[in-house]
Structure formats: structure tokens, C-alpha cells
Amino acid sequence: MSILLNKDTKVLVQGITGNIGKTQTEYMIKSGTKVVAGVTPGKGGEKVFGVPVFDTVLEATNNYEIDFSVLFVPARVAKDSVIEAIESGINKIALITEHTPVHDTMVMKAYAKKHNALLIGPTTPGIVVPGECKIGILPINMFCPGNVGIISRSGTLAYEVAANLCLVGIGQSTVIGMGADMVAGTNLVEILELFNLDNETKVVVLIGEVGGSQEEDAAAFIKNKMDKPVIAYIAGASVPSGQRMGHAGAIVEGGKGSAKSKIDTLNNAGVKVAMMLNEIPLLVKELLS
Amino acid sequence: MSILLNKDTKVLVQGITGNIGKTQTEYMIKSGTKVVAGVTPGKGGEKVFGVPVFDTVLEATNNYEIDFSVLFVPARVAKDSVIEAIESGINKIALITEHTPVHDTMVMKAYAKKHNALLIGPTTPGIVVPGECKIGILPINMFCPGNVGIISRSGTLAYEVAANLCLVGIGQSTVIGMGADMVAGTNLVEILELFNLDNETKVVVLIGEVGGSQEEDAAAFIKNKMDKPVIAYIAGASVPSGQRMGHAGAIVEGGKGSAKSKIDTLNNAGVKVAMMLNEIPLLVKELLS
Amino acid sequence: MRFQEYEAKEIFKEFGIPVPEGIVINSDSEIIPAIEKIGIPAILKAQVLVGGRGKAGGIRVVENLEEAVEACREIFNKKIKGYHVKELLIEKKLEILTELYCGITINRTLGRPVIMVSSEGGINIEETAEKNPNKIFTLYCDPLVDIYPFQIVNLVKNLGLKGDVLLKVSQIIGKLLQIFNKYNGIIVEVNPLVITNNKQVLCLDAVIQIDDSALFRYPEFQEKKFNQMDYSLQRLEKKGATYVQLEGNIGLICSGAGLAMATMDTIKSFPGLSPANFLETGGSITPELMEDCMEIVLERNVLKGIFINIYGGINPIHEGAKGIARVIKDRELEIPIVAKALGNKQEETWEILEKAGVYTYKKSDTHGAINYLAEILHLEVKG
Amino acid sequence: MRFQEYEAKEIFKEFGIPVPEGIVINSDSEIIPAIEKIGIPAILKAQVLVGGRGKAGGIRVVENLEEAVEACREIFNKKIKGYHVKELLIEKKLEILTELYCGITINRTLGRPVIMVSSEGGINIEETAEKNPNKIFTLYCDPLVDIYPFQIVNLVKNLGLKGDVLLKVSQIIGKLLQIFNKYNGIIVEVNPLVITNNKQVLCLDAVIQIDDSALFRYPEFQEKKFNQMDYSLQRLEKKGATYVQLEGNIGLICSGAGLAMATMDTIKSFPGLSPANFLETGGSITPELMEDCMEIVLERNVLKGIFINIYGGINPIHEGAKGIARVIKDRELEIPIVAKALGNKQEETWEILEKAGVYTYKKSDTHGAINYLAEILHLEVKG
């Protein structure tokens, strides 16, 4: 089993006719994903690798059952496209687009919540179920099937950690990138919950980074509700912190956000925190054996 | 009995410290209305005719039970003030203010509907229960107690019709002005429903005017659901119609809006329509006897 | 507030909405240079603030200079639905493939903006709406929720458009909605919205009407509006009153539009009497406002009498009475004036008016009051 | 994008938010006329884009001209938290009764704007927030629903203000929220927001930081931002990459910020190695972007080696490789370069890089790759 996605998931690609949309649609199809339709306003009637393209999501949902929409749209239309997907009844959405204005992200997040939709991203690399299928941009040759769930705020770090696990013979159940924008449509805790319920997943690797308080929230969840062991890594421990402007950031974060805060809080929650990337495979191996 | 208002109704006055707010508060108190509190931001702590003034509606509702709020606020803050009342839990509101931007009215109307609040106005003269109390600006010496309900889109025409009924010895149960702005917070049908349920009311006089389709909607309601006789008068039958701009108005109204359309539709619904003001007392008298 | 077509098109341009190149002229003498700049064939369009000017001869296509000069003179000498033509918009005639309709207005009963589109644009749109309402597609807006571009694309899809044209039309409608929202629109309309033979999409006509009550938000428009009025009307409007000149012989001052309309209906029912104007004071009567009301009513010198029908609800009618009295005294008026003034402070009001020589009618029936006026006029005529 | 205090105050003024009269100077020589215009006592404020400049000596009150000249020189010669002071804002010192705090920012976890106010404004606000969090009052905004003025009055009531001052403070906060929303703010902050002894309310400080990803909506700001950068950084930023100069000896090019940070952590764990920069390519790698990345990394001439850590997910790394190869060839580079390039098209990428003389590391562990670089450097040093 896997979380959120499997080979039967019917996927819509919004922004399918752009360069990235086209290329990644091809990769997704080759990885085993059921891409049933695409949308680009003004391009209705075209086909991309055999996938029919519609002008609107509504036309796509009128013609196909859709479980998941993945978006490769320009940042300036990301908000409109995500809300179009939600209003057309799609309740799982991955927004790959980077450089989305954070005020737009806040609207999308609130909109998704109001309509009980799950929005991963923006700037998510997507989700991969190794050996089965993927949505998004993750290069599948970095992954192999197995029992470790990976949740990462960074995209490329997720690839690295998965590939390093594969090197020592440890595969993954599902790997999911959350996107490291200032505000994420879905937070770490919500994905931890899903892994906690997934039979296939024995251990979870959580890859965080400095900024925000998602890791601190995750620590509280792990301590109180998580039945499975979690390994964590926080990127940016040795990075000199940027100069803050004003006080508002500090006040609203209330002392959270630094690598130290995150590592301490996770440690206190009983999570093993790898201080360097190359410690992760060792820690996972210990837990699996 | 009466609709919406009686001598026990606890009334808040928003905009109580302005010239009109002060004058009308005095008139309301003298007419028997229970004005329990007032609000003007920045004037908290003052008193107006013994009524305590607060900076915010929330302070007023924290200190007093409020059933109805009546607003004498400047047009540019009308939207904010109405929404403040609704958000503070008040579900009956009369907005006396005139010249409220119609886009603001649309927001207020939608907001009231969403929160199950009744918004009368803007530009309503208010409601009077003759011999008992009133909210708003209706001069009480124009009214006398009895069994006729009056609903009027025009304020001063409501006074006139009531006074003319009094001249022939016919009193009123409740008189309510809806405001004749382009969009009204509450439409005629909603008030007809209340009169239909009111034991004290034997006959209803409906005073409409050219423009919009409220009278046509009212006709449909009267035909299908109203148990009591209704007399109607439509002002503006002989007024030369203004030059329309564009087609949008005509398209959206779909042939409704003219005095002729209203009168015909009401006649077809079995309503007796007075062609001149002075026919109203005669028609009512007939029905009451 | 209504905008002339060319003014509306200026606003369209600010929002990036494509319109044909055009030149506005105020006199015959400007037609030749204008046509030389715009080219032939061209369209001459009378700038008047009413619909249906095409059918009334206010729009002419010209194929050469001579024709242009002649058409220009004809239009400038025309009255269109009662309006003199003071300005003419000259535009290049385009090769048109399709005429669409787009209008945004307010559904009064629902209290919601509504966007209407149709593939049957052009002068017969109202007929289409009546006979084939299924050819008009609508999107109702929730005033509490933003409209997103995809919703407009969904609406426009109904017109059977595809590709670039689908996007262009949708973008234009999105921008029309921006104008409607930004300027508190009552109507924003394009008829026809055309697709040319080279797949350009342009607004051939442009209608914008905005809410007078919201003009305080746009001081530039407010000023423009006042500048278009003559001085006495301007003074009234600034104080919240509304005046419309009519053709009759009885000057009228009423508090409340409904009362004013009912009063006009009643006046008309008396043989020989008819209203010379519509005047609604609004709810902010002061002595000064009442003076202004008297002055503007008296500008019409065909009056037989004046009828004042006011209620003291929100209005301090006793204050208003002072203004009336002042005008009577200052101008030594002899014209008969009947006032029906009731409500709060009615006794005080009567006293002031009677001292000034106004006939007061103290019952509430407008019919009786006008009858009283008719009697007085009759007496005067006799005497 | 961050604004200097005086730039933020210009924006405040456009929105009608009161700020003290001020003059900006760029050199010592302007101080005397500035003080003569502003008057004594005056405040000199270093214009730097970091918080806490007051505690760092960047703000000085001066009582006479001599003191002003001296303080001005001192500040211009200072570095504040690493920043040179290039501009100084001179303002009249006011008689202050109360210092409030107001900040608007984004709660990242909730994804909501939050308005924070406190009656304990001034330089110790962060301490207050930590020790007496109940002295900070907050209003969380729903991104789907407008905030109405009354909600701000309700928030400000918590500070115990009354009368005119209550309204003035509320109006200012309403306008700060307008700025935050209009310009896609990350932070809009005033500390302190002061009440003077004559009941004026003014913003003594002004912080505005807006979202770089939203700059396309404000071309005027985008241009300003680019103009502040040197040319090579500008080229990178326009292509979506992020570069920060550091003090180390290993040039770094990574695809992804998380990977870049983890790589930096790993480099630091090797004795003698440290990152010379942070460089994150973003998701739009092209040959040209990679050339620009190489050029900016090579601007630092203390480098021992370059480490490239890129993944082919969204990025066509084989395209990027062409850019790297071109720079190596054109500049005849001899500095050792290790590349770990994996994912889609990895084989193609390796081939291009190896032909250009880049050492490729084909496993996924960054630690191993850096170890490889260390070995090469060691060999080179030896050789």
C-alpha cells in the first residue's frame, strides 16, 4: 500500500501543454501513472502523449473521473488553477509551480481547507510510489520500493535521502515533498497522520529545514499520536542565519524556527535526529532490524 | 401583536451621537421604545438622553441584551456598521442611512443572509407599531393602532397612507418601510410572510413603486401563499420613464419593472390595486367591513 | 453617473481592454482631419447617454470624405431620444466576423452582480433576450466571494469559442468585471464585442454607468459629474436632492421619491394641472436646501402654482420652512403656494409658512391638498 | 524585498498614514542644512535593512548642530550588523506620551496574516512578547474574508485607548493592513507607533518587506530591486536562482535550497573546507543559467574547488551541463570541479561534464562526493 497515490489513481495534468508540463507528463506516464486528461485554457482539443487536453477542468471532470490533479502552471495563475480544480470537485491537488506569491498560497490553503481538499505545495516535487507510479517531477531512478515513508520539505533532499537508502538496500513505501515555501498548502503533521495509518510503512524519515514551526508541531504529533518510529534531519544547522527585519517574525514564531529549536523539540519527542545526511541510512537500518 | 417589534424589544442605536442619531433617539424613547444602548466609535462613555454610549457593538452586547439595532451612521461606514452588528450577534437590523453605495448594500445583504439576520434598508424609515413604539424616523403622529399592516418601499408614502387611513378611522398593526434603494436588504415577500402569520393584521397594504421586480415576486407569493387580503398601490404610473442606458437593465429585468407590469401582475394575483392614493382607504374599508 | 462612449473607452484602455482607434470631435470643421487620420471606411457615432442610438440614426458608416462631411452635419443637427448631439466619435470600420454581447449589471431582487454573455450581440439583443432567453448565459456573483478567471472561461465556453479567441474574450470580460467592481458599477456593457477577420477581439461600443452614491470614492468622477450640471442643479445634488425638469405648470417639492411620484400621479389627475418638475429633497432638509429647491423650481417661468408635500420624519421641516419663507420674502413672490407639511414639528412649520403667505393644508391626503391648490388657482383666475 | 525606513514612510504617506517630517541625506555635508530645516532636537537614524539598529548605535538624538555633525560622521563610519550605512534619515524629535507596537506578518503554519498590537512598544518588544505574551493582542485574518474596520477597533480596544486616539490608531492599523494586502506584504510593522503629548498619533519607525514572488505585480518595485543588485546577481535572480556570498573556499552550485543547506553542513564537516557561497538554481535550469551560476561563483577568487550538486527532476541537467562545459572551455578553467548530477538524463549529463574535465561522482551520497573532492584537492596540493 501507499499513501495518497497508487497505480489506479486517475490523474489530471493542469498546464499540460507547457514545456515542463509536456516533459513531466511523459515521465509520469512512463513511470506507470494513469494520466487521463490535461487542461490548458485555449488548447482544448489537442493531445499530449495521447492524453486529451481540455480548456477547463470542468470539461475534464465532465468527461473523466479524476482523483488527483497535478499542476505545472505559471505562478501568476496558480491560485486560479488550484481553485478551479477544487471547484470542479477534485480533492487532491499537487502544485509543482515555484515562486507562487505567498498571499495567493494563503488563499489557496484556506480555500482547500474550506472544501476539504488536500493541497500539496506549492513548490512540491510531488509524490512517488517507487516501482509503481508518481505525480510531479521526482526522478524515479532515485527511488526503490520498500517500507520507509519519506516526508521532506525540500524536493532534491528527498531524492538524495531516498537514493542513499536504496544504496544500502532500503526501499520506500511513498516519498512526498511538501514544498518549502513560506506557507505550505499541507503541513507535515497531516502527512505524518497518513503514514501512521499506512500498513506498508514501517519507519518514517522526516526531512525538515530551518524556518517556520512545522517540525515543532510534528514533534508534538509524534510524541502524542504516532505509533511508528520517526527519523529526522533538519537542513541548515550550520547555515548563518539571515538578518531579520523588524520584530514581527520573531514575535509570531515565539522562539521556534531555528535548527536548534527544531532538533531539541524533536529529540524531546523521542525522535532520532541525524546531524548529517549520511547518518540517516544507518539510523533507519537500526530501526528496521 | 405586531411584527418584528414591540414595546419590550431592546434596541441599540448605532451612530447615536450624531445630530440625526440624537434627535431620533429622543423621538424613539418618547414613542415608548426601549433604547438600551448606543454606539459611536470614539464616544464610548458618553450618554445620550440617559442611554449609555459604547465604542463598539461588542461592548454593548457584552453589557446589554440587544434584540434590534437601528443605524443612523454615515453612508461610508454603513457596511462596516451593519456587519459589526451581525458579527456581534444581533439578528435584526434597520439601516436608516440614505445614499449607501449599492455595492456595499449587496455585501450587507449577502452577509445578513449568510448569518440569518434580517436587514431592513438601507434608506428604510424604520418600523412603527402605532401607540406602542417605533424604530427609525417615522413621525408617530401620522399613525394610529389597528389591524392594517402596511409595507412600503417609500418612506413618506407610508406615512401618507397610514395618516389617510387614520382619517377614516382605520388603524395599523405595524407599518414598515423597506427603503427604495436599487437593492434592499429585505424584499417585500419576506415581510408579507410575517404579516401573513400575524394575528393582529387583517388586511395588508402594499405600497410599491416602479423599478425592480419585488412587486411581481410579491404577487406570486400573495397568489400562492397569502391568506389575507392585500391592497396595493404602485407609485410612478404616470411618471415618464427615464432613458435607459445600454441593454443590460432590460435583459436582467426581463420585462418587469414598469408600473404596468406590476399592476397587471398584482391584478392577476387577485390583489386590488388602487390607481390613485385616495382610493386606498376606500378599498381597505371595503375589505374590513 | 453615465459616461459617454468615448469616456468609457478611455477607461477600457486604462484596463488594457482593446477598443478601435478613435477621435472625438465637437464640430463639423474637425471631420476632415479626423477622417484623414482614421481612414476610410469610417464610423461616425453620436455621443449621447441613451441606448438605441443606432436605430435612431446616430451611427453612420461613411465610405468617402464627402459622405463623411454630410453625415457629420446631419448627426450634429439631430436630436436623439431628446438629446442634442454635442460630440461625435469617429472610428475606423473593421471587418467583423462575429458580434458578441457582454453586460454586467445588478439583479436588484437578488442583490447580486450578474454577468451576461451571448453570441447574438448587436442591436437586437433585447429581442433575443425576450424570445430566446436560452441564448443569454449568465454568471451570478456572490458579493462575498471573488470571481476567478476560470469561472469566466466556463461562462464564455457556452458561446462555442475556442483557442486564443476564448482566452481573449474571457480576459476582456474579466477586466470589465474589474471595472464594474472598482468603480461601483451599475452597468458595464459591451455590445457588440466583436471578433474581426484576423481574430482580434475588440469592444465596438462601451457603456459604463456607476453608482452616484459611491462617487465619494472617486473624487475625479464626482467633479466631472458636477461640472456637467448647471450650477443650481449642482447645489441641489451636493445636498442630496434630486431634480428632473418636466413640461408642466405646477412646481413641486416633495420629501421622498415615492411620495413625489404619487403626488405627480395625483396632479395629473386634475384637468389643466401637470407637474413642472420632479423634486425629491432627500433626508437632509435645511433652510439652505429648501431655498435651493425653491430657486430651481422657480427657474421655470411657466408656473401657475407651487405644491410642497413634505413630511417631518428624518427631516426637520420647521427648518425647511424657514428657507421657503426667506425665498418668498426676498423675491417678493406672488405665485400661489400650497404646502402640506406633516409629522414632527408640524405646528411650528405651519406657523412659519403661514406667516410667509403660504397656504397650508393640514390633513394628510395629497388629493385633498391638490384640490385645495386647484381651488385657489381657480379663485385667482377669477379674481 | 525590503524597503529602507524612509522608503516605507513614503508609502505610508501615500496611504495617508502620519509620519514625522524627515530628510534623507547621503553624506556628512548635508547634515547642517538638514538640521536647520528640521530643527533641534532631532533624531538621526541609520538606514539599514536590519532590525535592532537602535541597540547597535544606529539611532542618535542630537540637541545642537555640533552634536549633529559629530553623530552624523560616526554613524556614516559605522557598520551595523554587517551593513554599511549609506543613508541617514533626519527627523524632528517629538514629545512622546505613549509607545505602541503594531506588526502585521504571516503565521506560516496556519497560513494566515496576523495583526499584532501591544501597548508595550519600543526596542524591548521581543522581550515583552517572550515574557508577557498576554501583552500582545492578535487578530488572525481569514484569507477568504475581508477584515472590517470594526474588527480593528475591537483589537485596539485591548490597549485601553479611548476617544480620538482609539480611532486614529485603528485607522492607521487599517491602512497598514491595506499596504500589507495591496503589496503582498511579508511584514508591515511600526515600532513604535507613538501618541504625542498633543494627542497626535504617528509612526516613528516603518518596516515593509514584501514577497519577492509577487514583485511581478509591482513592476516599479521589481525594477528598484534589480537596480540595487550588481549585474551578475541581477541576472541570476531574474532566472529564479538565489545566491548569497559567504566566507569559505568551496564554490557551490545546488539545485534546491534544502539540498544546498545540507551540502553546506556536509562541507563544513570536512576540516579545511567551507562553503564560499550559497547558490540555489531553482527549477528553471538552462545552459545560460548554469553559465551565470559558474560566473558568479568564480567571482570569488579564493576558491580551492567547486562542487556541483544537482538533480534532474524538473531541471534538465543535461542542458545545464552544457553551460558548465562552455564556461570551463571559454575561461580555460583549471580549478578542480566535482559534480554529483543524478536523476533524469544523468548519463547524458555525465558525458558532457566529463568531456569538459569535470570529475563526476555517480552515487547519491553527498558526503561521499565531497570526500571525493577533498581527495582530489589533496592530490592537487600534493602534485
Please report the pLDDT score of residue B183 as a whole number. 96
On whether both C368 and C252 belong to a single domain, the answer is yes
On whether both D62 and D140 belong to a single domain, the answer is no
Q: Which residues of D touch A151 (CB under 8 A)?
A: none
For residue B42, the chain D residue with the least C-alpha distance is: D163
Write down which residue in D92, D110, D134 finishes a domain: D92
Mean pLDDT of all residues in B227-244: 83
Indicate the pLDDT class of residue C380, thresholds 50, 70 and 90: low
Please report the pLDDT score of residue A240 as a whole number. 65
For residue C157, give the 3-state DSSP assignment: helix
Sheet holding C337-343, edge to edge: C242-245, C277-280, C250-254, C305-312, C337-343, C359-360
Q: Please identify which residue in the block is written with the cell numbers 401620522.
A: B142
CB-based contact B42:B213 (threshold 8 Å): no
User: Using CA atoms, how far apart are residues D181 and C264, in angstroms rounded to an integer?
Assistant: 50
Amino acid occupying residue C338: V
Does the residue C222 lie in any domain? no
On whether both D167 and D297 belong to a single domain, the answer is no
On whether both C211 and C270 belong to a single domain, the answer is no
Torsion of the alpha carbons at A155, A157, A162 and A163, rounded to the nearest 10: 110
**CATH assignment at residue D363:** 3.40.50.261
Please report the pLDDT score of residue B36 as a whole number. 98
pLDDT in tens, C34-80: 999 999 899 999 998 877 788 888 999 999 999 999 999 999 998 88
C-alpha grid cell for residue B211? 423599478
Looking at the structure of chain C, the number of domains it has is: 3
D41: cis peptide before it, omega within 30°? yes
On whether both D178 and D238 belong to a single domain, the answer is no
CB atoms within 10 A of CB A122: 30
Please report the pLDDT score of residue D380 as a whole number. 56
Residue from the list C51, C104, C144 with its beta carbon closest to the beta carbon of B110: C144
Q: Are strands C22-25 and C88-92 parallel, antiparallel or unpaired?
A: antiparallel
A143-288 has the same fold as A10-120: yes
Neighbours of chain C (3+ CB pairs under 8 A): A, B
B vs A contact (3+ beta-carbon pairs below 8 A): no
Which of A72, A152, A182, A251 should one mutate to test binding to chain D, selecting the residue with the greatest count of D CBs within 10 A? A251
Over 80: is that where the pLDDT of A250 sits?
no
C-alpha grid cell for residue C22? 478613435
D 66-105: CB under 8 A from A:
81-83, 101, 103-105
Beta strands in chain D (DSSP E): 22-25, 42-46, 59-62, 79-80, 83-84, 88-92, 96-107, 112-118, 136-140, 185-196, 201-203, 207-210, 242-245, 250-254, 277-280, 305-312, 337-343, 359-360
Q: Any idea where the domains of chain A sit in the sequence? A: 10-120, 143-288
Over 70: is that where the pLDDT of C254 sits?
yes
Which among A234-243, C92-101, D80-89 has the top mean pLDDT? Answer: C92-101
- How far is the CA of D359 from the CAs of B68, C37, C345, D145, D308, in angstroms? 80, 67, 99, 55, 10
Mean pLDDT of all residues in A171-180: 96
The rounded radius of gyration (Å) of the Cα atoms in chain B is 19
Mean pLDDT of all residues in A245-255: 75
Please report the pLDDT score of residue D20 as a whole number. 96
C-alpha grid cell for residue C73? 452635419
Does the residue D16 lie in any domain? no
Please report the pLDDT score of residue A127 as a whole number. 98
Contact state of C342 with B255 under an 8 Å Cβ cutoff: no
On whether both C302 and C272 belong to a single domain, the answer is yes
What's D160's DSSP letter? T
Contact state of C314 with B180 under an 8 Å Cβ cutoff: no
For residue A207, give the 3-state DSSP assignment: strand
On whether both D234 and D211 belong to a single domain, the answer is no
Produce one character per residue of C99-122: b if its CB has 16 or more CB atoms within 10 Å, e if not: bbbbbbbbbbbbbbbbbbbbbbbb
Please report the pLDDT score of residue A241 as a whole number. 61
**CATH assignment at residue D157:** 3.30.470.20
- How far is the CA of C322 from the CAs of B175, B284, C280, C282, C290, in angstroms? 30, 37, 18, 17, 8
CATH number of B143-288: 3.40.50.261
Over 50: is that where the pLDDT of C27 sits?
yes
Sheet holding B118-120, edge to edge: B47-48, B51-54, B34-39, B10-14, B68-71, B92-95, B118-120
Contact state of B77 with D149 under an 8 Å Cβ cutoff: yes
Q: What is the DSSP string of D65-111?
A: HHHHHHHHHHHHT-EETTEEP--EEEEEPP-EEEEEEEEEEEETTTT
CB-based contact D55:D123 (threshold 8 Å): yes
Could you say which of 3.40.50.1260, 3.30.420.40, 3.40.50.720, 3.90.1150.10 is the CATH number of the domain covering A10-120? 3.40.50.720
Does the residue C10 lie in any domain? no
User: Using CA atoms, how far apart are residues D276 and D264, in angstroms rounded to an integer?
Assistant: 9
C 5-44: CB under 8 A from B:
none
Contact state of B159 with C103 under an 8 Å Cβ cutoff: no
Write down which residue in D92, D110, D130 finishes a domain: D92
Does the residue D382 lie in any domain? no
Q: Please identify which residue in the block is written with the cell numbers 506584504.
A: D185
User: Using CA atoms, how far apart are residues A279 and A49, in angstroms rounded to an integer?
Assistant: 41
CB-based contact D279:D252 (threshold 8 Å): yes
For residue B257, the chain C residue with the least C-alpha distance is: C108
User: Using CA atoms, how far apart are residues D146 and A288, in angstroms rounded to an integer?
Assistant: 51
D 168-187: CB under 8 A from B:
170
Please report the pLDDT score of residue C340 as a whole number. 98
Please report the pLDDT score of residue A242 as a whole number. 60
Domain extent for D68: 21-92
C336: cis peptide before it, omega within 30°? no
On whether both C193 and C324 belong to a single domain, the answer is no
Please report the pLDDT score of residue B253 as a whole number. 75
On whether both D288 and D301 belong to a single domain, the answer is yes
Over 50: is that where the pLDDT of C383 sits?
no
Nearest to A160 by CA among A235, A241, A258: A235
User: Using CA atoms, how far apart are residues A256 and B4, in angstroms rounded to an integer?
Assistant: 53
C 233-292: CB under 8 A from B:
240, 246, 254-259, 261-262, 264-266, 268-269, 278, 282-283
For residue C181, give the 3-state DSSP assignment: helix
User: Using CA atoms, how far apart are residues B120 and C316, in angstroms rounded to an integer?
Assistant: 23
ipTM: 0.94
Residue from the list B23, B110, B235 with its beta carbon closest to the beta carbon of C142: B110
Mean pLDDT over each residue of chain A, to the nearest integer? 94
For residue D355, give the 3-state DSSP assignment: helix
CB-based contact B170:B130 (threshold 8 Å): no
Q: Which residues of B touch D (CB under 8 A)?
A: 41-45, 55-59, 77, 79-81, 83-84, 87
Alpha helices, H only, C239-363? 257-268, 287-298, 317-330, 346-355
User: Using CA atoms, how far apart are residues C59 and B175, in angstroms rounded to an integer?
Assistant: 51
Neighbours of chain D (3+ CB pairs under 8 A): A, B
B vs C contact (3+ beta-carbon pairs below 8 A): yes
Count residue pairs from A and C with Cβ separation < 8 A: 39
For residue B75, the chain C residue with the least C-alpha distance is: C213
**CATH assignment at residue C30:** 3.30.1490.20
Over 80: is that where the pLDDT of A244 sits?
no
Write down which residue in C62, C92, C122 finishes a domain: C92
Contact state of D213 with A75 under an 8 Å Cβ cutoff: yes
Beta bridge mates, D242: D280
What is the distance between the terminal CA atoms of chain D, rounded to a whole angstrom?
47
Q: Please identify which residue in the block is written with the cell numbers 518549502.
A: A180
Amino acid occupying residue D245: Q
Q: Which residues of D touch A111 (CB under 8 A)?
A: 144
Mean pLDDT of all residues in A83-108: 97
For residue B233, the chain C residue with the least C-alpha distance is: C262
CB atoms within 10 A of CB D331: 12
Pick the range with the lowest mean pLDDT from B56-70, B239-253, C36-50, C368-382.
Answer: B239-253
Phi and psi angles of residue D149, each rounded to the nearest 5 degrees, phi first: -50, -35
User: Using CA atoms, how far apart are residues B164 and B182, in angstroms rounded to an integer?
Assistant: 28
Please report the pLDDT score of residue B243 as a whole number. 61
On whether both D185 and D105 belong to a single domain, the answer is yes
On whether both C248 and C358 belong to a single domain, the answer is yes
Over 80: is that where the pLDDT of A239 sits?
no
Q: In this structure, is the dihedral angle defined by the CA atoms of residues C144, C150, C153 and C157, taken in order, positive or negative?
A: negative
Q: In this structure, is the dihedral angle defined by the CA atoms of residues D170, D172, D176 and D178, taken in order, positive or negative?
A: positive
Mean pLDDT of all residues in C262-279: 93
Does the residue C165 lie in any domain? yes
C-alpha grid cell for residue A20? 515542463
On whether both D104 and D85 belong to a single domain, the answer is no
Does the residue C168 lie in any domain? yes
pLDDT tens for each residue of chain D, 383 residues long: 999 999 999 999 999 999 999 999 999 889 999 999 999 899 999 998 877 788 888 999 999 999 999 999 999 998 888 788 999 999 999 999 999 999 999 999 999 999 999 999 988 888 888 899 999 999 999 999 999 999 999 999 999 999 999 999 999 999 999 999 999 999 999 999 999 999 999 999 999 999 999 999 999 998 888 887 888 888 888 888 999 888 899 999 999 999 999 999 999 999 999 999 999 999 999 999 999 999 999 998 889 999 999 999 999 999 999 999 999 999 999 999 999 999 999 999 999 999 999 999 999 999 999 999 999 998 654 43
